[in-house]
Structure 1
Amino acid sequence: MKHIIILVYFNITLYQCKMDYERGKLQLSRNVYNQDAYDRTYPAPERPELSIARTIKKKCTCTTADVLRTILTYFPLINFARTYKLKEYILGDFLAGLTVSFMHLPMAMGFGILASLRPINGLYSTFFSVLVYMIFGTSPHISIGTNAVMAVLTTTVVDREADTFTAARQAANESIPTDDEIIEVKIGTSMACCFVAGLILIGMGLLKLGVITTYLSVSFVGGFTTAAAIHIASSQVPRVFGIKVQMFAGAGKLVRMYIDLFSKIAQTNATEIIIALLCMITLLLVKICINERFKDKMKMPVPIDLIVVTLGTIISHFANFKEVFDVKVAGEIPTGFTSPGLPRLQNVGSFASDAFVMAVLSLAMSISMAKLCANKHGIPIDDNQELFAYGASNFVSGFFHSFPSATAPPRTMILSTLGARTTLNAIPTSVFILLVNLVIGQLFVSLPLSVLAAMIIISMRDLLLQYRNLPSIWKINKYDFVIWVVTNSVSVLVDLNYGIIAGVGISIFLVIFRD
C-alpha cells in the first residue's frame, strides 16, 4: 500500500511564506513526501505490548472511595438532601407535592380500573413508584405514577392472559374460574410486566444508553399517544352508558367493541349518562375557564378532579345510587397493603414483547417531559440516571401488586408550575397516598364508576387535540406527516401493538427512501 499511494504532507512548520503586497496574494511552499520518506522523517512512536492483564490491573486500581463515590451517583436524593436550602425550597416542594397528590388519587383509582384491575392496584402503583423515583430520580418535576397509556397496554396483556387461563381450564374439563381467580391471574401478569419492564430500563441505564432518547421520533410518539388516547376514552364509553360489553383482543378490537356497544344500546342506564355528562361539563368548565384562564394569577389550580370524585361519592352514598338506580360503584377497597408477592413469570414469553413496548413508551413519555421541564427551568437532568430511576420504580412496584408506571403530563406540569425544586416534593405526595391506602380509601366505596369514566375521558383532551397539529406538520415535513398518520391510523383501526410495528417500519422505510 505504501509503495503505491503518494501522500502530499502539509508540514506547517517547514513551509515558506512569500507575501506579495502588490497583488495581495499568499504563496505557500510545502515539502512533498512519499510513504517511505515520510516514515523515515517521522517514525511512528513505539506502542507498548498489548496485555490484557495489564489493562485489567489498570482499570481496577480504583480505591474504596472511588467505588463509594460511584455507588452514590445512583442516589441523587443524597445530594438533594445535603444541599437542600430549607427556607428557599420547602414551600415550593410542599405545595407542589400536596397539590399533585390531589390529582394522583382520582387518576390512580380510575387507571386501576382502566388497567382491568382494581382501584387499589392503581393506588399501589402510585405509592411505590413515587417513593422509589424520589430516591433515584434527577428531575424535580417528573411525576411518576399511573399513566393512561400504560393502563391501556396493561389491559391488553392481562385480558389476553386471563382468556388463556380460562381456555386452559375449560380444555382440561375443569370448572370455570371465578372472578377472584381471574383477577389474581391479571394482577400476577401486571406485576410481571412491571418486573420485566423495570429490568429492561435498569439495564439500559447501567449500560449508559440514555443517548438513544435523542433519536425518538416526535411524529411517532405523537401519532401513537393520540391513538392511545382514543383507545383510553373509548374504553370508558361503555361505563358512561352503564353497559357491559364483551372484551375483545387483537386486530380491530376497538371497532368490534363499538359494534357490540351499539347492539346493546337499549340497555343504557340513563342515570349513569346524566352523572357522566354533569361531571364532564363541570371538569371542562373549571379546567378551561378557571385553571387555564387564570393560571398566572393562581398559586395552585383548583383540584377539580378530587372535588368531583369526593362530591360524587358523597351524593352516591346518601342517595343510595347503587340500590335505587342500579349505578355501578367502585365497591370494597382493601385497607392497608397486600403482602409483597412474586410476579407471574410462567408465561413471560407470551408478553415479553409487550413489556418491552411498555418500557420503551414509559421511557419516551417520561424523558420527553423531563427534558421539557429541564429546558424551561434550567435544572439539568442525567439521562442515564433517569433510565435507571424509571426502571427501579417499575421493578420495585412489580412485587407490590402494581402495573407499569410512567409520568403523566398533567401532574408533571403542576409540579413545574408550582415551582418544585427537588425530588423531595414526593414526601407530601407519598404521605397522602399512604393515608389513602390505610384509612381514606374506604370512604370511596360508593364512588360511581361513571364519575371515574368521565374524569378519564376529559383527561385525554390534550392528547386528542394533537390532531390539530397535523396541518402544521404537513407544511413543515411531509415525511413526519406520513409517519404520524400511519402510526395513528393503524393503532386506532387495528391495535396499538400493530401501530408500533407500522410506525417503526414506515420510519425506517422513509429514512432509506430519503437517502
Structure 2
Amino acid sequence: MDSTRRLGKYRVEREVLDEQRLEEVTQRKTHSDTHPSLTETLKDSLRCTAPKLKRSVLSCLPVLYWLPKYSIWDYGMPDLISGISVGIMHLPQGLAYALLASVPPVFGLYTSLYPALIYFFFGTSRHISIGTFTVLSIMVGGVTERLAPDTDFLITNGTNNTAEVDITARDLYRVQVAAATTVLGGLIQVVLGLVKFGFVGTYLSEPMVRAYTTAAAAHAVVAQLKHIFGVSPGRSSGAFSLIVAGTLISTYTYLNRNFTISVVGEIPNGLSYPSVPDTSIFKKVIGDAFALAMVGYAISISLGKTFALKHGYNVDSNQELVALGLSNAVGGFFQCFSVCSSMSRSLIQETTGGKTQMAGVASALIVLVTILKLGPLFQELPTAVLAVIVLVNLKGMFKQYSDIVTLWKRSKIDLVVWLVTWVSTMLLNLDLGLAASIIFALMTVIFRTQMPTYSVLGNVPGTELYVDMETHREAREIPGVTIFRSSATVYFANADLYLEALKEKSGLDISKMIIYKKRQEAKQRRREKRAERREKRQAKKENGTVFVVPVSPQTPDGPCRWEYLKGGEPDSTSLGWMSELQDGDTTTLGSSSEDTLSRDLERVSLGSLGKWTWDIHSIIIDLSTANFIDTVAIKTMKNIFQDFSKIDVDVYLAGCQSCVVEQLELGDFFSESVTKRHLFASVHDAALYCLDHRGTTCITQTV
C-alpha cells in the first residue's frame, strides 16, 4: 500500500455553535427523558412479560439457547476429540494440584468433575476448561495448612512413646476447610454476578495478574520440594508417560512398603455423597475466599474474552461470574476446592477443535470413568511424580519473567506494578500479596490522573484540528487565544493541579496581576483625589467657584484598557493604562499633550521582561477528555471564570459531553455572568467566536 496516498477532502459550512444554540439545533432531551425516575425503574424491573421472562431464563441458563441449535454432524466429533484430550490432561493435573491444596489426591479428581458439569449449564465461553489451576490450588493450600497444621494432629505412639501426625484426621479437616472456603468464595462470585459487578475483574490488570501468577509459581516450587527430594525418579518425556512409568515402578518394586515412599494411596471407587460444609469456618476464611473469587474470575474472564474475540462470539462477564460462582459453590458440597479456567487445558480444547461447552462434558466423562473404574490403578503412584508434574506445568509461568524486559520498553508504570506485585506476593502471603497489589495498582491510576499531560493547542493551518504545539511543528498559535487541554478528567484529586497548570501554560499569574491591579487602582484613586483638590484650588482662585472634574482612564487619543506584561517579579514595576486609538495604533499615555494627565497616568516601561504587552484576551478550556465532573471540579471551574474575569480575560469551555453539561447544570455552575453561551460544541467553534468577538480573523472559518 502506498504510504503517501492522500485521503479525500471535505468542506463544511455552518454557523458557530455554542451550547445553547447546539441544544436548539439538536433538540436535546431533558434529564428526565434520558434518566427515568427510581419509581419507573422499579416498575419496569418488576413488570413481567413473556419476552422479558424468556430473555431472563436464557440469560441465566445459556445452555437453553445454544443446545437446541447444536449440530451433532458439525460439532459432535470435534467436541468429542477435544473433550477426550482435555480429560486426559485433567487426570494428572487433578491429582497433582490436590497436593498443592494439601488435600488427598482423589479430591483433585472430584474437582475436575463436578465444576465442569456445572459450568456446562451456566457458562457462556465455548473454549475454556474449568477445573484445577495452579495458583488457586496454592492459595487453598495456604488456607488449609494455616487452619489445620500438623502440630494440631499429633498423637503419641504407644510403642516407643513418640509423637506422630494423625494423617487421616488432618486430611479430613483440611478437606472441610477447603470445601468451606470454596463454597464461600463461590457465593461471593454469585452475589457479585447477580448485582452486575462483572466489571470488578478489570481492576486486576494483566501485568498484575501475570506477576501474581509468576510469584505463586515460585511458592508452588517450594511447596513441592518436600515431595521431590523424597525420591530420585528417572527422567522421562511427557507428563502422562511419567505417570505410567512412575506407577509401574512403584507398584512392582514396592517402594511404599520397602522404602516408605509417599504414594497417592487409596482412591475409593464411586462418587462421594454431598455434604454441607462447616459454616463455622466461614468467618476464618472470608478474606481468603474473596481473594480466591477475584483471582479465579480474573483469570477465567481474560481467557474467555480472548477466545471469544478470536472466534467471533460474546462472553457475558456477569454471567461468567455467576457460572464460576455456582461451579465453586456446588462443587464445595462435593468436597471440591476452588476452580477456574486453566490456560493449558483451554488451549488444548481450542486447538484440538472444540466448538462448544459440550467438550467440557466429554472431558468430565473421562474423569468420571477414572473415578468409578480406574482409580485403584493410581494408588501406587508416588507423590514425587505428581510434584514433578506440577513443576512441568509451571514452566509457562516462569517464562513470564520476560515481561520485565518487555514492560521496561513499553511502560515503566506497568513495570513497577509488575515488580511490586511480585515482591509483595513473594514476601507476604498470597492473599495479603493480592490485596497489596490491588491497592498499589489503584494508586497508580490515581497517580496518572493527578499527573496528566497538560498542553496548549494550536491550529493546523487550513483545518479545524487543534493539536499540542510542543509535539507538532505545524501547529500555529491563535493570537490572543490560549487553548488549554488536560489528558485526564478534572476531579477532586487533581483540581488544584489543573488550576496551577492552566496558570503556568497561559503565562498569566493571576494573583500577581490582581495585586498589581489593586495597587494601581489605589494609586489611581489617590491621583484622582489630588487632581480634584487641584481643580478645586484652581477654580477657587479664578472665580471662587469649585468645579469637580472626574479623572478617568481616558486620553485625547481614545479609550484605555488594562494590559499585563508577562514575567517579572512584583517590585517597582506595575500595570499601566494603554491608549488604543480608533485606527488601531497604540501609544503610551506618557506621550499625551497634557502634562498633568501624563504624570498621573504614566505607563511604566517593562521591556526588560520580554513582551512589551500581554495580548491574551481569551482562554479556551478543552473538556473533550472529561467523562464526568464532580463538585470540586465545578467549584474550580467557577474560580477560573471569576479569577480571569478580574483581569479582563474571557474563559470558554469546549467539547463538553452531554453528561458533563448535565452535571454542570446540577452543580449550579451557570449564572448571569456564566451562561451556556460560554460553552461551545468544539474548540474550533470557540476559537472562531473569540476571534469574531474581538474583531480578528486569522484562521480558516470554513473547513
If the TM-score is normalised by the length of the shorter chain, which range does it land in? 0.7 to 0.9
More strand by share: 2
Which residues of structure 2 form unaligned runs of 5+? 1-10, 157-162, 451-703
Question: CA–CA distance in 2 between the matches of 1:464 and 1:149?
Answer: 13
Q: CA 1:224–1:27 in structure 2 vs 1: closer, same or farther (change >3 Å)?
A: closer
Give the residue type in structure 1 aligned to 2:311.
H
Secondary structure at the counterpart of residue 487 of structure 1: helix
Matched to 1:182, the amino acid is R
- The offset of 1:509, in angstroms, is 2.6
**Contact 2:180–2:281 (CA under 8 A) maintained in structure 1:** no
Distance 2:14 2:66 in 1: 61
Which of 159, 164, 175 pairs up with 1:187? 175
- Contact kept in structure 2, 1:166 and 1:176, CA below 8 Å: no
1:441 aligns with 2:441: no
Match of 2:397 in 1: 463
Q: CA deviation at 1:73?
A: 2.0
Cα distance in 1 for partners of 2:148, 2:257 equals 30
1:115 deviates by: 0.6
Residues 150-184 of structure 1: per-residue CA shift (max 9 Å, x gap): 111111111111149939999xxxx9983322222
Aligned to 1:381: 315
Question: CA 1:355–1:32 in 2, change beyond 3 Å: closer, same or farther?
Answer: closer
Equivalent residue number for residue 149 of structure 1: 135
- In the TM superposition, what is the alpha-carbon distance from 1:308 to its structure 2 partner? 1.9
Pair 1:393-2:381 in alignment: no
Q: Which of the residues 309, 317, 325 maps onto 2:251? A: 317
1:400 alignment partner, SS class? coil
1:126-141 equivalences in 2 (<5 Å) = 126-141=112-127
Distance 2:395 2:19 in 1: 70
1:432 to 357, 361, 366: 366
The match for 1:90 is 76
- Indicate the residue corresponding to 2:200 in structure 1: 212
Q: Secondary structure of the equivalent of 1:340?
A: coil
Establish whether residue 335 from structure 1 lines up as the match of residue 321 from structure 2. no
Partner of 1:60: 46
Q: Quick one: distance in 2 between partners of 1:225 and 1:45?
A: 46
Q: Is the 8 A contact 2:153 2:166 kept in 1?
A: no
Structure 1 residue 142, shift from structure 2 partner? 0.7
Amino acid corresponding to residue 329 of structure 1 in structure 2: V
Higher Rg: 2
Find the aligned partners of 1:367 and 1:46 in 2 and give their Cα distance: 36
The alpha-carbon deviation at position 30 of structure 1 amounts to 8.6
Alignment match, 2:421: 487
The structure with higher relative contact order (CA 8 Å, sep 6+) is 1
1:116 aligns with 2:102: yes
Q: Which of 424, 438, 443 lines up with 1:509 in the alignment?
A: 443
Asked if 2 retains the 8 angstrom alpha-carbon contact of 1:189 and 1:345, the reply is no
Structure 1 gap ranges (5+): 1-23, 243-271, 284-303
Q: CA deviation at 1:483?
A: 0.9
Distance 2:121 2:12 in 1: 65
Amino acid at match of 1:82: P
CA distance in 1, matches of 2:394, 2:93: 12
Q: Residues 421-470 of structure 1: CA distance to partner in whole angstroms, max 9, x if unpaired?
A: 11011222121111111110111111011111111001000001100121
CA contact (8 A) 2:154 2:165 kept: no
- Give the SS at the match of 1:346: helix
Change (3 A) 1:501 1:52: closer
CA contact (8 A) 2:153 2:170 kept: no
More deviation in 94-103 or 505-514? Answer: 505-514
Deviation of residue 119 (structure 1)?
Answer: 0.7
Mapped contact 2:204–2:438 kept (Cα < 8 A): no
- Identity, in percent, stands at 32
- Per residue, is there more helix in 1 or in 2? 1
Q: Give the direction of change, closer, same or farther, for the CA distance of 1:326–1:206 in structure 2 (3 Å limit).
A: same
Task: Identify the range of structure 1 (372-381 vs 102-111) with the bigger mean alpha-carbon deviation.
Answer: 372-381
Aligned residue in 2 for 1:416 = 350
Deviation at 1:59, TM superposition (A): 4.1
Q: 1:32 to 1:135 in 2, by over 3 A?
A: closer
Distance 1:491-1:438 versus aligned 2 partners, 3 A rule: same
Q: What's the Cα RMSD here?
A: 3.1
Deviation at 1:189, TM superposition (A): 1.1
Asked if the contact 2:182–2:289 (Cα under 8 Å) also holds between the matched residues in 1, the reply is yes
1:46 Cα deviation after fit: 10
Cα distance in structure 1, aligned partners of 2:364 and 2:29: 66
Task: Determine if contact 2:128/2:303 at 8 Å carries over to the other structure.
Answer: yes
1:477 aligns to 2:465 (yes or no): no
Pick closer, same or farther for the CA change 1:167–1:446 going to 2, 3 Å: closer
Conserved in 2, the CA contact under 8 Å of 1:487 and 1:503?
Answer: yes
CA distance in 1, matches of 2:166, 2:30: 78
Check if 1:162 corresponds to 2:140.
no
CA–CA distance in 2 between the matches of 1:311 and 1:378?
Answer: 42
1:360 aligns with 2:294: yes
In 1: Cα distance, 2:214 partner to 2:137 partner: 15
Deviation at 1:137, TM superposition (A): 0.8
